[in-house]
Each structure stands twice: as structure tokens, then as C-alpha cells.
Structure 1
Amino acid sequence: MNSYVDYTSPSVQFTYDLSDNILFQKDAQNSISELSIQQLNTLANVSLLEIRLSTANVIEPHYHQNATELVYCVTGAVTVSLINPFTSELRHFPITPGQVANVPQGWWHYLVATVDNTHLLTIFNAPIPEFILGSDVLRLTPSNILAHTYCLNENKIQDALSPIKKPVLIGPPKDCKQQPLQKPGIHVRLADTVAHHQPTPERSYAYTSGYPGFSFNPYQN
């Protein structure tokens, strides 16, 4: 969408403070700020999210129906995971400062921080980034439809999904009762970016946030 901008108008905008538009804040270490044409009227066909995450926090599975997403790591480390709809493969791409990962338009994906103080910029080729969240798909699809479609127990589905009352965005929720796994460190397998699925080495990250002894593997599915 290319809209005409009157650059002589007193309302034309050239700068903006992202701290004035926090899209979601889980706590002091985990937040998302948004910049779109709604905040800066000279942007045209570009928008971005500024994301801050601590270890093992997840930008929940989702897709953008109107834009490709370029993820740039400013500080910290994050694993960008996506499903390639042409090969039905789940792929994992760890990136560190100065590196990027690209998520094509409409592809299901999620992001997992593997160290504290992870700071990301995600850039979209659309004036406003639209998204369909996994939490919305789960909580808004009737449990009887899920049970019938996948031959599952409806009562178990209702029990499992009942805590999801609203969009999650950054998971797990603050009130999550799950106990951290009692294994040292965080072990992350490097993305398999080599043809023919050759084995890839392991990378270990020291755990630095508030759950001593927590072990997290973003590649579990």
C-alpha cells in the first residue's frame, strides 16, 4: 500500500520514540514495541517490531499473512524456527549479533531467546504487520472441532487449553506453573542448513537468568 504523503503538511512525521508504543510487555525483560504507519506517517511500506527477551522466553508460534519478516539480532542470541510449507520441514536458525534470519510471508514460525538481554529488530515489508497467533488458533477453535478432526478426547483438549484466555505473544505466561527441568545449561543444536540432512554439532549456552539449573531445547516439537 503506497499512500500519498503531503510532505508540506504540519502533521508530517519523521521521527518516533518506540517506547511510546509498547505492543506487549510480559515483564521488565520481555517486551515488544511496534512501529508502523500508524505511528510514523512517512513510513509507507515498512514497519518493525523491537523485541526484548530473556532466556527461554518465546515469541509464540504465529504467521504474518501480509508480510515477510526479517529478524535482526542486535544483542544476545535467538533461534528462529519455521515450517517450510513447500517441504513440510521444521527448520531452526540460531542467530547472534549482526546476523539475520528471514521468514517468508505466511510461514508459521516462532523465536526462542537462548541468552538473557536478547534484543531484536524484526522488519516487515508492509505498513502494518498483521499476524495470526497460535494462542488465538487454539483458544478460538471449538474443542469439539479439534477433537473430531484429530480423533482426540474433547475433555482432555478442554483441560489442556483452558488456561489460554487471551493472546500470549511472549510465552510462557508470567503465571505459568510448570517446573523448570533440572539439568545444567541450555543445549541448542545448530540449524541444519546443509543439504542431505548431515549431522550438525551442538552449541551450549550458559544459563544466566532467574531459574538455576534450567535446561531448554527449542528444537523439541
Structure 2
Amino acid sequence: MVSYIDYTSPNTQYTFNLNQSTLVKKDSQNYINVLGIQQLNTLENVSLLDIFLSRNNVVEPHYHQNAAELVYCISGAVTVSILNPFTKQILNYPLAPGHVANVPQGWWHYEVAAVDHTHLLAIFNAPTPQVILGSDILKLTPANIMAHTYCLDENQWKKAIAPVQPALFIGPPNNCRNQPYTQQYPQNSYMPQRQL
């Protein structure tokens, strides 16, 4: 929660250049800029991520325990996928420019760019959205706990997750040699309709 803002202070900020606040950069086409109360002290209870992705790049699976997220597609095309914790279904929402998807607070989700030059805004109802990343869960949970809990071979688990880097944010890594990702839309997908 934001405390009182002194709007008479000479330190009060009303503008900011978002291009000067990179959160993470994979390469020149895949990066995320951040705007929060640390960058613009008059924001109060809102923040945003300015996301740029090329085809098949993913904002890694994650959730925000303190904020809902509104994903707005500015250009390109993206699929926002959300795990509904009540139905246990993955919901896929392909977005075109002008379309939005709402991710409720605490819901597991990820975004996959369908084309190059995809540009998104992720808007949060918190001054600083907290994030739990899938890569952190995989790498920071002790291998013996994962193996014991899920009846896995501990050495196979270690080998399987060895390439995973904590705080990946945008995947796959540049050195990934797997087959390209192809998006599939099951029955529980929303396909946007063009408005005339």
C-alpha cells in the first residue's frame, strides 16, 4: 500500500521514460521494461510491464501473489494462457491488437508470441507486483524433495532441469536446440473476433 504522497514536494514525479527501465533483456527483440512506484513516485497502486517478444518467445510461467494482471496487445499477436485453479483447466486466449486478457490475482499463467514484433502492456493493481517464476520453483526446490514427492529418480530430475536457469523471464534460452513451438488451441480457447 502506498503511503501519503506530498504533491508539493520538488521530488514529486509525473513523467518517466519507460525505455530507461529495463527489467530483463534476452536480446534486441525480447525484453521487458518496468514501471512502478520506484520509477514514478506518484503511481500509487498501479504498475506495468512493457513487453516486447518475437515469434515463439514466452514470458515464462509464473504467478503474482499480490496483484491481478491485465494484458493488453498493442501490436503483433500473443496467446495468454491461464490455469484456472477451480476447474484445473488451461485457458488459452489468443490476442490481437486492441484485445485484452485478465489474469486474476494468484493464477498461474504465461504468454507466447505468435508473430515477430509483438508488443504487450501488462498492467497490475499493485505498486510492485510480486512474482513467483516457474524457473525459480524448479531450480530452488531441492531435488530430493521433488524426487521424493513425485516418486521420481533424483538423478534424472537433476539432469532434466539442469538447463533451467532461475529467473529466466523470457524463454527459450538462445542456445535451445529443441523443435520450434507450435501453438495448439483446444476447445477451451477464446478466438478473438474482428470488430467492424
TM-score (ref. length: structure 2): 0.93
Report if the CA contact (8 A) 1:94-1:191 is conserved: no
Give the drift of 1:51.
0.1
* Alpha-carbon shift at residue 46 of structure 1 (Å): 0.2
| Contact kept? 1:76, 1:97, Cα under 8 Å | yes
Give the distance between the partners of 2:163 and 2:156, measured in 1 at CA.
13
Deviation of 1:192 (Å) = 2.3
CA contact (8 A) 1:93 1:191 kept: no
Partner of 1:172: 172
The corresponding residue for 1:65 is 65
* Higher RCO (Cα < 8 Å, 6 or more apart): 2
Instruction: Give the equivalent residue in structure 1 for 2:194.
Output: none
Superposition CA RMSD, Å: 1.6
C-alpha contact (below 8 Å) 2:37/2:43 kept by paired residues: yes
Match of 1:92 in 2: 92
Equivalent residues in 2 for 1:108-127 (5 A)? 108-127=108-127
Q: Secondary structure at the match of 2:128?
A: coil
* Aligned partner letter, 1:189: Y
Partner Cα distance (2:44, 2:105) in 1: 18
C-alpha contact 2:56 2:180 (8 A) present in aligned 1 = no
Q: 1:8–1:56: structure 2 CA closer, same or farther, 3 Å change rule?
A: same
Unaligned runs of 5+ in 1: 195-199, 201-221
Distance 1:139 1:187 in 2: 26
Give the number of aligned pairs. 191
Residue type of the partner of 1:192?
N
1:189 to 173, 185, 188: 185
Conserved 8 A contact 1:94-1:190: no
Q: Aligned runs of 1:1-221 on 2, under 5 Å? A: 1-180=1-180, 188-189=184-185, 192=188
Instruction: Give per-residue Cα distances to partners, 1:111-140, cap 9 Å, x unaligned.
Output: 000011000000000001110000000000
Deviations 1:166-204 (A, max 9, x none): 3110000112232447xxxx554276258xxxxx8xxxx
Q: Which amino acid aligns with 1:25?
A: K
Gaps of 5+ in 2: 192-196
Runs of 4+ in 1 over 3 A off after TM superposition: none
**Which whole-Å deviations, capped at 9, do the CAs of 1:84-119 have from their partners, x for residues lacking one?**
111111110101000000000000000000011000
SS in structure 1 at match of 2:110: strand
Query: Which segment drifts farther, 36-45 or 154-163?
Result: 154-163
Distance 1:156 1:49 in 2: 36
% same residue: 60
TM-score by length of 1: 0.82
Rounded Cα–Cα distance in structure 2 between residues aligned with 1:76 and 1:179: 22
Q: Does the C-alpha gap of structure 1 residues 191 and 74 become closer, same or farther in structure 2, counting only changes over 3 Å?
A: farther
Taking structure 1 as reference, are residues 191 and 28 closer, same or farther at Cα in structure 2, changes over 3 Å only? farther
Relative distance call for 1:191 and 1:92 in structure 2 (3 A) is: farther
**Residue type of the partner of 1:167?**
A
